[in-house]
Chain A
Amino acid sequence: QVQLVQSGAEVKKPGSSVKVSCKASGGTFSSYAISWVRQAPGQGLEWMGGIIPIFGTANYAQKFQGRVTITTDESTSTAYMELSSLRSEDTAVYYCARDKRELLKLGAFDIWGQGTMVTVSS
């Protein structure tokens, strides 16, 4: 069965950037939408953006437009999320999640990565 394995925890300075990876194993990668969802400490889930690798075009939540970039590398079945101009409020666990259905972005994320803690602190 498909698994999503994310890169490890990061500590970053305010104003810098972070790039988190999400590697899929055990199944098809290119035709399923991957979304990035973050969760600040004690807070709820927040969708940041998503992409269907075979189509290559990402879309982003308005809140993160201009600061987030989601890309994929089909040769390694890996998705990436880069967030720039980091501030303390970006301290959160970042998850990648796969849509249940091929070639659609209808939600229903049935597979999640384990999460990557990103801490922004001076």
Chain B
Amino acid sequence: SYVLTQPPSVSVAPGQTARITCGGNNIGSKSVHWYQQKPGQAPVLVVYDDSDRPSGIPERFSGSNSGNTATLTISRVEAGDEADYYCQVWDSSSDHQVFGTGTKVTVL
């Protein structure tokens, strides 16, 4: 089955840039989606199809995808960005959705 690997944690100072990676075999050939989840809340879609943002999501959230790594970038990080972040793809070979292992972003 397809596996997505994320770093367990990323720490960043307010105003700086956080980059969260999502590794998978030839992930560049798939569409990657990213979710933000705060404690006790349902996940929220922040980036879809590698780099598109749903309405209402700040431009500070951006995504890229190439080769074996997809990246979610959060620019000008704010305290409110502290959350868990998950990448996700649809694996066409199995017709299954796959979530990454998750990354906890801590704002210092």
Residues of A within 8 A of B (CB): 35, 37, 44-47, 50, 59, 61-62, 95, 97, 100, 105-110, 112-115
Contacts and interface: CB of A to CB of B under 8 A. Distances in A.
B1 interface: yes
B90 A115 contact: no
Contacts of A109: 33, 35, 43, 45, 88
Given A105-B90, A107-B88, A108-B48, A114 B42 contact: yes
B98 interface: yes
24 contacts: A44-B100, A44-B102, A45-B35, A45-B37, A45-B102, A50-B97, A59-B96, A95-B42, A95-B43, A97-B43, A100-B48, A106-B31, A107-B31, A107-B48, A107-B89, A107-B97, A108-B48, A109-B33, A109-B35, A109-B43, A110-B48, A112-B43, A113-B42, A115-B42
Q: Is the interface of B mostly helix, strand, loop or mixed?
A: strand
Interface residues of B, number: 25
Interface string B44-78: 11001100001000000000000000000000000
A61 B2 CA distance: 12
A108 B49 contact: yes
Interface of B: 1, 31, 33, 35, 37, 42-45, 48-49, 54, 84, 86, 88-90, 95-102
Nearest to B102: A44
Contact of A107 (B33, B37, B42): B33
Nearest to A50: B97
B97 A35 contact: yes
